[in-house]
Amino acid sequence: MPRSSTRTSSVRRSRSRRLGESAFGLLLAARVGVMGVLALLLLVAGVWTSWNTARYAMLVKAQGRGTMTVAACAGERCTGPYVPVSGAGGPRAKVSIAEAVAPSKGERVAVVLKPGTSQAVRTGPAGVLHAWVPFAGSLLLAALVVAGGMRLRRTAWVMGLLGALLLGAAFAAM
């Protein structure tokens, strides 16, 4: 009789141990899944934010393209007169551009106007790189999530280096 009770308790311990191991595995899988969704959300938000400006800097053809001469800067915007390229509407006395992408006062810069507004977006390599800065930041943040939450260190290093390179290129282009 004592032998069967020992066997029963051994089976119980084995079952409870397997149950605990499977619950722990389920928690690990859930953690990786949640962190993956968080990293994906960060990347999508970065692309979404960048695309609002990048689409004008990259894809708009001749309509709304021209040059702006920086006349004054106040706050985070610089203003100045706008002269369109041939056949793309008339000149405007005052358009505004983000101060971060504006050259110094009195210089001219190639821009494209957002439709229906007086806001200009810088074109060319500097404008395109600056437009993708939010995506670079999201790459850096997602790299931290991938490294810490998902334990994918090599992938995180690649993401972080790409984000840092994009930020550095945008800084150098200005």
Q: For the chain, what are the domain ranges?
A: 61-120
Q: CA 127 to CA 124: how far, in whole Å?
A: 5
Q: CA 46 to CA 151: how far, in whole Å?
A: 22
Q: CA 164 to CA 54: how far, in whole Å?
A: 18
pLDDT of 97 higher than 90: yes
* Token digits of residue 82: 């706008």
Do the Cβ atoms of 107 and 69 come closer than 8 Å? Answer: yes
Model pLDDT, residue 7: 59
Positive/negative CA dihedral, 84, 89, 90, 92 = negative
Model pLDDT, residue 45: 97
- Top pLDDT among 75 and 163 is at 163
Q: Which of 52-66, 106-120, 149-163 has the highest mean pLDDT?
A: 149-163
Model pLDDT, residue 50: 95
Q: CA 100 to CA 134: how far, in whole Å?
A: 13
Q: CA 4 to CA 133: how far, in whole Å?
A: 69
pLDDT of 105 higher than 70: yes
The mean pLDDT of 126-155, rounded to a whole number, is: 95
22-65 pLDDT per residue, tens = 778 788 888 999 999 999 999 999 999 999 989 988 887 656 78
pTM for this one?
0.79
